[in-house]
């Protein structure tokens, strides 16, 4: 994005300038890799967030706070909807939500008719899993490292319809993309119908070679549903380029939308085959994605604020954001890798991860480590102790500074020296 485009999107959306025109003139043309290390630029972005002085927030992976301009716009939206009340609901709700959907479709690179706004990834992916016409003996393939509640939804289908779930386990440092593709390929049988693939594993940050997995699966007649909870507005891609049949993501994670916003993408040819979970008497067209989207009366002001979050995101730019987030992760992981008693549960190859990483200390449980980090060091992370991962997940957002990560690295160094390891 050049300076003129920036002024048009950020200024035009009423967000105000993220940077002063002088700063922008300095950074607009800078290559993203160099800009990733320009602290003055990122300090200006950080200035758009209201951050607590009580702790360093390295847990944006659950819910990423809205930037102040987005939050203010959201509050104004709440007032606007409340003011017009039922009149708003009867006359503006549907066209306004369609407008937000169109903006998201442009961001995702898909047709508006292939996308609907949901409340979160859970709703999006559960709609697909439970909307499938399962028959006894049908098989689905997924990974041990997939999100637990998604795995649970597959287990429910197994109980209800007698379908069968097959689990693979993802190596953190694969020798090649082919190793991952082969892993999934080996789990496919003539009964396999659907495969769930995480775009970015939430507990390790590992990015999977989705396109290659999809091509392999399609060649064997298997549909692919991608869990993009953490990838959307975090790394640069367009959903149709992945080739998948279904894609779900949460917007309250890396896009910085209000809580309770997500997307469901269904490839056009696949819409008719899914059963809706909720009924809607108006939606008789089997090929209309909106048949999957009737959740009743819901907080529509959150949908309105999506446009503001997109404008804020676009003003930074996905490539700049991705480069900065990867820089931050590598900044701290490169310092702790190799420390004695320290285990990294995130790929060594920087291309296979971005903001998310996970670190454990031998002899110290992840929950204890997260608790000590918060109580003693005032650093907020989350402990993960499953699927072969035993460490704290660390998810810095764009407002985090390297000097805060230095404090985290110093804390890890201290704990790694203190533990007693019995071999």
Q: Give the Cβ contact number of residue 417 at 10 Å.
A: 11
| Cα distance between residue 375 and residue 370, in whole Å | 9
| Cα distance between residue 52 and residue 196, in whole Å | 37
Q: Name the nearest CA neighbour of 58 among 250, 205, 247, 276.
A: 205
Smallest distance from ligand PLP to CB 112, Å: 22
Residue of 24, 74, 147, 380 that binds ligand PLP (CB under 6 A): 147
Angle among Cα 273, 277, 280 to the nearest 5 degrees reads 95
- For residues 202 to 221, the per-residue mask of contacts with ligand PLP, x marking binding by CB under 6 A and - elsewhere, is x-------------------
Smallest distance from ligand PLP to CB 228, Å: 8
Per CB under 6 A, which region of 116-124, 156-164, 324-332, 345-353 contacts ligand PLP? Answer: 116-124
Angle among Cα 179, 181, 187 to the nearest 5 degrees reads 105
Q: Which is nearer to ligand PLP, 59 or 114 (CB)?
A: 59
- For residues 292 to 331, the per-residue mask of contacts with ligand PLP, x marking binding by CB under 6 A and - elsewhere, is ----------------------------------------
Smallest distance from ligand PLP to CB 20, Å: 35
Residue of 93, 250, 302, 416 that binds ligand PLP (CB under 6 A): 250
Copy the structure tokens of residue 241.
Answer: 């380029």
Per CB under 6 A, which region of 5-13, 117-125, 265-273, 287-295 contacts ligand PLP? Answer: 117-125
**Total chain residues near ligand PLP (CB under 6 A):** 11
Smallest distance from ligand PLP to CB 210, Å: 13
Residue keyed to tokens 């993309």: 177
| Cα distance between residue 273 and residue 131, in whole Å | 8
CB of 363 within 8 A of CB of 333?
Answer: no
| Cα distance between residue 34 and residue 224, in whole Å | 36
Residue of 64, 93, 96, 120 that binds ligand PLP (CB under 6 A): 120
Per CB under 6 A, which region of 104-112, 227-235, 334-342, 355-363 contacts ligand PLP? Answer: 227-235
Smallest distance from ligand PLP to CB 363, Å: 27
Residue of 114, 223, 227, 245 that binds ligand PLP (CB under 6 A): 227
Q: Name the nearest CA neighbour of 194 among 135, 121, 116, 240.
A: 135
Question: Does position 255 bind ligand PLP by CB under 6 A?
Answer: no
Q: Which is nearer to ligand PLP, 320 or 393 (CB)?
A: 393
| Cα distance between residue 323 and residue 35, in whole Å | 8
Interaction residues for ligand PLP, span 321-380 (CB under 6 A): none
Residue of 9, 122, 182, 341 that binds ligand PLP (CB under 6 A): 122
Per CB under 6 A, which region of 102-110, 157-165, 222-230, 231-239 contacts ligand PLP? Answer: 222-230
| Cα distance between residue 245 and residue 225, in whole Å | 6
Residue of 141, 210, 226, 229 that binds ligand PLP (CB under 6 A): 229
CB of 342 within 8 A of CB of 412?
Answer: yes
> What's the Cα-to-Cα distance from 337 to each of 161, 326, 394, rounded to whole Å?
46, 16, 14
116 Cβ partners below 8 Å, 6+ apart? 101, 263, 264, 289, 290, 292, 293
Residue of 230, 320, 352, 397 that binds ligand PLP (CB under 6 A): 230
- For residues 178 to 207, the per-residue mask of contacts with ligand PLP, x marking binding by CB under 6 A and - elsewhere, is --------------------x---x-----
Per CB under 6 A, which region of 97-105, 120-128, 300-308, 377-385 contacts ligand PLP? Answer: 120-128
Smallest distance from ligand PLP to CB 143, Å: 10
Gyration radius (Cα) of the chain, Å: 22
Residue of 121, 204, 302, 416 that binds ligand PLP (CB under 6 A): 121
| DSSP strands (E only) in 204-245 | 223-227
| Cα distance between residue 257 and residue 303, in whole Å | 9
| Binding footprint of ligand PLP on the chain (CB under 6 A) | 120-122, 147, 150, 198, 202, 227, 229-230, 250
């Amino acid at each position: 994005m050049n300076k003129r485009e920036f002024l048009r999107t950020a200024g035009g959306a009423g967000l105000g300038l993220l940077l002063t025109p002088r700063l922008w003139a300095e950074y607009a043309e800078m290559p993203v890799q160099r800009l990733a290390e320009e602290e003055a630029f990122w300090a200006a972005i950080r200035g758009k967030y209201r951050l607590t002085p009580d702790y360093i927030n390295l847990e944006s992976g659950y819910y990423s706070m809205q930037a102040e301009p987005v939050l203010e716009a959201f509050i104004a939206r709440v007032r606007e909807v409340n003011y017009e009340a039922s009149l708003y609901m009867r006359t503006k709700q549907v066209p306004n939500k369609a407008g937000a959907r169109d903006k998201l479709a442009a961001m995702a690179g898909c047709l508006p008719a292939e996308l609907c706004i949901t409340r979160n990834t859970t709703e999006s992916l559960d709609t697909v899993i439970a909307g499938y016409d399962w028959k006894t003996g049908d098989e689905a393939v997924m990974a041990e490292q997939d999100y637990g509640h998604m795995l649970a939804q597959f287990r429910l289908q197994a109980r209800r319809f007698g379908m069968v779930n097959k689990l693979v386990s993802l190596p953190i440092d694969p020798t090649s993309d082919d190793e991952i593709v082969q892993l999934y390929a080996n789990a496919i049988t003539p009964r396999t119908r659907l495969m769930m693939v995480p775009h970015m594993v939430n507990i390790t940050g590992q990015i999977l070679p989705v396109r290659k997995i999809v091509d392999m699966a399609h060649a064997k007649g298997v549909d692919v549903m991608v869990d993009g909870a953490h990838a959307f507005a975090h790394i640069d891609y367009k959903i149709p380029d992945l080739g998948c049949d279904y894609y779900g993501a949460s917007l309250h994670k890396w896009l910085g939308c209000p809580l309770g916003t997500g997307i469901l993408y269904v490839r056009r040819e696949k819409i008719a085959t899914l059963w809706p979970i909720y009924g809607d008497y108006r939606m008789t067209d089997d090929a209309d994605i909106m048949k999957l989207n009737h959740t009743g009366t819901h907080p529509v002001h959150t949908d309105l604020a999506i446009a503001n979050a997109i404008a804020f995101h676009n003003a930074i730019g996905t490539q700049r954001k991705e480069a900065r987030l990867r820089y931050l992760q590598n900044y701290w992981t490169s310092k702790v890798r190799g420390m004695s008693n320290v285990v990294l549960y995130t790929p060594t190859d920087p291309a296979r991860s971005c903001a998310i990483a996970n670190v454990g200390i031998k002899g110290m449980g992840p929950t204890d480590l997260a608790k000590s980090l918060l109580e003693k060091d005032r650093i907020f992370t989350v402990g993960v102790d499953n699927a072969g991962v035993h460490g704290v997940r660390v998810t810095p957002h764009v407002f985090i500074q390297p000097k805060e990560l230095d404090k985290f690295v110093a804390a890890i160094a201290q704990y790694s020296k203190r533990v007693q390891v019995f071999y």
